[in-house]
Structure 1
């Protein structure tokens, strides 16, 4: 982890925000955005590409026939087409990841003067992305809280949850490999204050490095 390394190339300090399913990562990302930190949401960008990018839609239809329609990619059908199939997932990632990478580069260019930006990346550790950020923040909550949140989602089952968790690094290991941890097993007010405290700490550290 590079932690608070000096920002010698004049780009923003990049926070990598991650966390397992149901941990409240999207809520925490929104709190960073509310506090004025530019946020790149990888999942949201994938959704946008699958809905609006004609080249991406065509490539997915070619690789997985019947998974698109006139509204773009049918995410439920695509999920069924790749669920549990590692080779299919790799084919899909080969289509999506380069496009998301280009979007991320444009985001960095658009926010090049910001002192801090945040990349919201669910599989930050699993896909090796932790090496490309300056500090990692993991969002975490107790396992029983996590399960309750996830199983309350429409169409979610115990089996599906088990499969998803099997694809993700255990929460304990994510926390051990992170620079900072945001606890979402508390109230929203407490979590929001933790986010604000972390932003202040990062900003102070960056200011100290520039002195």
Structure 2
């Protein structure tokens, strides 16, 4: 069985950038958020979302992710409900994807809420990407058309860096991208030795 390496970090930590650097080294990567966007187009999921959150989260038949986020990141019960709709489908999607990558030495499973969802239990090792909170907030403000309050709500709905670090095997501090990439290469070598040794 191919080894599954979880990669996580808070919003704005740069975990997707780090995941893509692993990909540049030949490692297959699975981005859980991208998969969630994909499965949320499925008819059964759309119906479940409408039943749970109403038609107002859809515009011209398309899911308005901002409208959905403003509902769920202010209400932990609604967030749990959304996760109960989407996560089982993403999990099945991932299991199928893993079957198609059995020849790899290891794969990266990138997910913001790896620990919160319990999916870390399926991982052989976990890498945590960190960055100072103010740096993360500035990145999100540059990247997304969103308000500071919405960012704070999202951050508050996730684990803290301290919580993630305590359960992770490897830590990548992502302040200086060149240094972070060197850390990726170092971890990659360690994982290749462990899997082939």
TM superposition score normalised by structure 1? 0.85
Structure 2: runs of 5+ lacking an equivalent: none
- C-alpha contact 2:12 2:137 (8 A) present in aligned 1: yes
Equivalent position SS for 2:6: strand
Partner residue of 1:77?
A: 67
Q: Which moved more, 1:142-151 or 1:35-44?
A: 142-151
- C-alpha contact 1:57 1:68 (8 A) present in aligned 2: no
Equivalent position SS for 2:74: coil
Give 1:83 deviation, angstroms.
Answer: 3.3
Number of aligned positions between the proteins: 196
Which of 1 and 2 has greater Rg? 1
Tell me: CA distance 1:159–1:92, structure 2 relative to 1, closer, same or farther (3 Å): same
The correspondence for 2:25, drawn from 35, 47, 54, is 35
TM superposition score normalised by structure 2? 0.91
Q: Does 1:146 align with 2:136?
A: yes
Give 1:71 deviation, angstroms.
Answer: 4.2
Where do residues 41-120 of structure 1 align in structure 2 (5 Å cutoff)? 41-50=31-40, 52-66=41-55, 67-120=57-110
Query: CA separation in 2, counterparts of 1:175 and 1:194?
Result: 16
Structure 1: runs of 5+ lacking an equivalent: 1-10
The correspondence for 1:19, drawn from 9, 26, 42, is 9
- C-alpha contact 1:42 1:121 (8 A) present in aligned 2: yes
Query: CA separation in 1, counterparts of 2:161 and 2:146?
Result: 20
Partner residue of 1:201?
A: 190
